[in-house]
Amino acid sequence: MNHRGGWALIQRTWLSWMQYRSFFFLLAFGWMIPPLIYLFVWSTAAGSQDVGGISRGEFVAYYLILILVNQLTYSQTNWTVGDEICYGRMNQMLLYPMSPLYHALASEIAGKVVYMIFVVPVTVVLALVLRPELHAGPGEVLAFIPALVLAWLLRFFWGYWLALLAFWAARSDALVAVQDALVFLLAGQIAPVALLPGALQDLAIALPFRYMVGFPVEVITGQVSGSAMITGFVIQIGWTVAAMLLYRVMWQRGLRRYTAIGG
Amino acid sequence: MTQAQIDVRHLSKTYRVPERQPGLAASLRSLVRPTHTDVPAVQDISFRVEAGEIVGFIGPNGAGKTTTLKMLAGLLYPTGGEATVACCTPWERQPAYLRQISMVMGNKSQMLWDIPPLDSFRVLAEIYRLPAHEFHATLDLLVDLLDMNELLTKPVRNLSLGERMKCEMVAALLHRPAVLFLDEPTLGLDVSTQRRLRRFVREYNQQTGATIILTSHYMADVVELCPRVILIHHGSLLYDGALGGLVERLAPFKLIRLTINPENSNGAVDRALTDEIDVLEREAGRLVLRTARSATPAITARLLSTLPVLDLAVEDPPIEAVIDQIYQEGNV
């Protein structure tokens, strides 16, 4: 572990990225669009009466928090790691006496800061206009924090191990695209998981994708509580550990196959 | 036998390369049943390098030089064989090992494009956990040797290729590696920058006692820096020894450059040029002759005594010509 080097990397990446903040603002804007669309769809549907026990204002709160959680957990490096392996750009990182994972983490953390500079003010303005209803007590807020951290870890490591398949197949990003599609469907973006039809809801609860975005939002909005919340945490921790183990195995096996292309 | 700084034993690397004919049908076929060919890049190479040596790795493009360096730098797993560098097995990639080595690739950059070099150097100091005073001392030394103080605060994107290469060198050497792999460090640089870098590499080697393996296609790099060369061709080691010895083995002849008084000497010249002399050039009193190495002293003496010689020089054939001969023929 080389935390000192990792922290320095984060600062360097951040310095470099601040030069391009408008580009990252545009990216962040793009990622906000789908949840915004569903925010309007559901809050319109719930205009006069609740849908599945959720009122208009609660939908607004759900989706505004989902926008933030989605941004905070989105792992852009899942898209770049495959390319780095494919085109031999990992060589330099492999020469340093620290895990290349730090480079990905540096991009993630530096990126979050840059995105939040854009996303937080936009969300606040939307909240002022759309009047969300959130009844979160200290218990919900307290449970939300670990759920959010685990969601990010899970989404990051799950995408990372998929991206590491680039050691074997030249284009592993197709699998990352599949992950994004499943997150869209099953992680509470298209609709809160509680509103999904029976079989799909069971699937969403069993698979890892809900725990990458939807679960923390459900926790803070009170859509999940009591024993369902505890089960949720158990599944979330289970998938996170599984993703980290898969990352380790993929990394160790993959490195033996790495062909360090080009120069 | 004492432990060498670099000890390579029967090292081999075979790449598995997917093979595909062009066209849609072939691409569908390769989806169902991918075919691979095995490309042997390095085959059974062994050599030792002592601490403080500078060794030149030469060989044509695709000979396996870079693959060997990458295995020694811990970037690649070998298919077979063993290697010990600074008492470690490179591909185990222990942090303690990586802190002792560095690799500069002439066509790759570790500098971040948008920030000044000094910022990148500071990050490296953190990655290698250098104490502040050590970092500043090394930085001052390197910046001084390369005369690049004014580059430290300019964004890297505004630097020329030569200036960037100086930064790469500093970045690679900040942690004072004991073993340095230089893969074509002078690629694309102008003559004076090349000379400057060569001088720098030599000075660094003398001041720190670092072991250096260098690959280059510029023979001037090799001639000036490397008392010893290792020649690789088609993945196999063809020669390991002094550069001069390689030339002697390959080019068992010398060149005699001769300037004579052109007046009334044509007949004498014709008589002097016996069968054992090849005439490479002849025009108005200037001749370039090729003779067997062993016969050269006798022939030179005879030419001096029988011809009105104004100037005479005996030379080895140009190194480029010798190397080209090996690359073309593939043997020593």
Residue B324 covered by a domain: no
Average pLDDT over residues B196-212: 93
Instruction: Say if residue B24 is in the same domain as residue B78.
Output: yes
* pLDDT confidence of residue B8: 96
Residue B258: CATH number of its domain: 3.30.70.1150
Q: What is the ipTM of this complex?
A: 0.79
Which of B76, B107, B122 comes nearest A260 by C-beta? B76
- The answer on B200 and B115 residing in a single domain is yes
pLDDT level of residue B1 (50, 70, 90 thresholds): low
Q: How many CA atoms lie within 13 A of A243 on its CB side?
A: 25
- Helix-, strand-, coil-residue percentages of chain B, each rounded to 5: 40, 30, 30
Strands (E), B184-276: 211-215, 228-233, 236-242, 253-260
Residue B332 reports pLDDT greater than 70? no
* pLDDT at residue A126, as a whole number: 92
Q: Is B127 at the interface with chain A, CB within 8 A?
A: yes
- For the record, the structure tokens of A240 come out as 């996170």
Tokens (6 digits) for B100: 């002792």
Domain locations in chain A?
3-257
Token match 């890297």: residue? B156
Tell whether B1 is covered by a domain: no
B191 and B282 belong to one structural domain: no
What token pair was written down for B241?
A: 């020894």
Contact status of B70 with chain A (Cβ, < 8 Å): yes
Nearest to B75 among A9, A12, A94 (CB): A94
Band of pLDDT at residue A135, cut at 50, 70 and 90: confident
Q: Over chain A, what is the mean pLDDT?
A: 88
- pLDDT(B202) > 90: yes
The overall average pLDDT reported for chain B is 88
Cα A157 from Cα B249, distance rounded (Å): 58
Q: Of B90 and B269, which is predicted with more confidence?
A: B90
Q: Which residues of B touch A84 (CB under 8 A)?
A: none
Interface touch B113/A260, C-beta < 8 Å = no
Q: Which residue of B has its CA nearest to A9?
A: B123
Domain carrying residue B147: 6-247
User: How many beta-carbon pairs under 8 angstroms link A with B?
Assistant: 82
Yes or no, beta carbons of B66 and A263 under 8 Å apart: yes
Half-sphere exposure at residue B207, Cβ-oriented, CA atoms within 13 angstroms: 13
Shortest alpha-carbon distance between residue B179 and chain A (Å): 13
Per-residue pLDDT at A261: 59
pLDDT at B250: 73
Among B247, B272, B294, give the residue marking a domain's end.
B247
Classify the phi-psi angles of B74: left when phi > 0, otherwise alpha if psi is within -120 to 50, otherwise beta: left
Residue B97 domain-assigned? yes
Contact B83, B7 (CB under 8 A): yes
Does the residue B331 lie in any domain?
Answer: no
Work out the number of other CB atoms within 10 angstroms of the CB of residue A120: 12
pLDDT at A171: 67
Choose among A5, A15, A95: nearest Cβ to B73.
A95
Shared domain check, B153 and B139? yes
The per-residue pLDDT for range A45-68, each reduced to its tens digit, is: 888 788 888 888 899 999 999 999
Is the Cβ–Cβ distance between B202 and B44 less than 8 Å? no
- Summarize pLDDT for A146-200 with one digit per residue, the tens: 999 999 999 999 999 998 988 887 666 788 888 888 988 899 988 999 888 889 9
Phi/psi region, residue B311 (left: phi>0; alpha: psi -120 to 50; beta: rest), is beta
Q: Do residues B219 and B126 both lie within one domain?
A: yes
B289 and B311 in a single domain? The answer is: yes
Q: How far apart are the first and last CA of chain A?
A: 28
Percent of chain A with pLDDT over 70: 97
Same domain, B229 and B277: no
Sheet holding B309-315, edge to edge: B277-283, B286-292, B253-260, B309-315
pLDDT of residue B121: 93
Do residue B108 and residue A5 have CB atoms under 8 angstroms apart?
A: no
Q: Pick from A1, A256, A259, A261 the residue to mutate for testing the B interface (most B CBs within 10 Å).
A: A259
* The pLDDT of residue A263: 38
Encoded amino acid at B168, one letter: E
Of A12, A95, A262, the CB nearest to B115: A12
**pLDDT for position A1:** 65
Give domain status of residue B320, yes or no: no
Closest by Cβ to A95, choosing from B98, B106, B115: B98
- Give the DSSP letter string of A101-151: HHHHHHHHHHHHHHHHHHHHHHHHHHHHHH-------HHHHHHHHHHHHHH
Tell me the sheet residues that pair with B309. B260
Give me the number of domains chain B comprises. Answer: 2
Do residues B193 and B267 both lie within one domain? no
> What is residue B91's DSSP assignment?
G
Band of the pLDDT at A260, cuts 50, 70, 90? low
Quick check: is B14 in a domain? Answer: yes
Give the residue carrying structure tokens 């820096």: B225
Distance CA A187, CA A185 (A): 6
Whether A262 has a pLDDT exceeding 70, the answer reads: no
C-alpha distance from B206 to closest chain A C-alpha (Å): 24
pLDDT of residue A4: 84
Sequence-ordered list of residues with C-beta below 8 angstroms from that of A4, at least 6 positions apart, any chain: B126, B127, B129
What CATH number is given to the structural domain containing B209? 3.40.50.300
Residue B163 lies in a domain: yes
DSSP assignment string, chain A: --HHHHHHHHHHHHHHHGGGHHHHHHHHHHHHHHHHHHHHHHHHHTSSS-BTTB-HHHHHHHHHHHHHHHHHH--THHHHHHHHHHTTTTHHHHHSSS-THHHHHHHHHHHHHHHHHHHHHHHHHHHHHH-------HHHHHHHHHHHHHHHHHHHHHHHHHHGGGGTSS-THHHHHHHHHHHHHHSSSSS-GGGS-HHHHHHHHHSSGGGGTHHHHHHHHTSS-HHHHHHHHHHHHHHHHHHHHHHHHHHHHHHHH------
Cβ <8 Å between B74 and A15: no
Same domain, B130 and B29: yes
Asked if A19 and B114 come within 8 Å (Cβ–Cβ), the reply is yes
Q: Do A2 and B127 touch (CB under 8 A)?
A: yes
Name the nearest CA neighbour of B20 among B29, B12, B11. B29
- The whole-model pTM stands at 0.82
Burial of B279 (C-beta count, 10 Å sphere; 0-12/13-18/19+): exposed
Residues B123 and B231 in one domain: yes
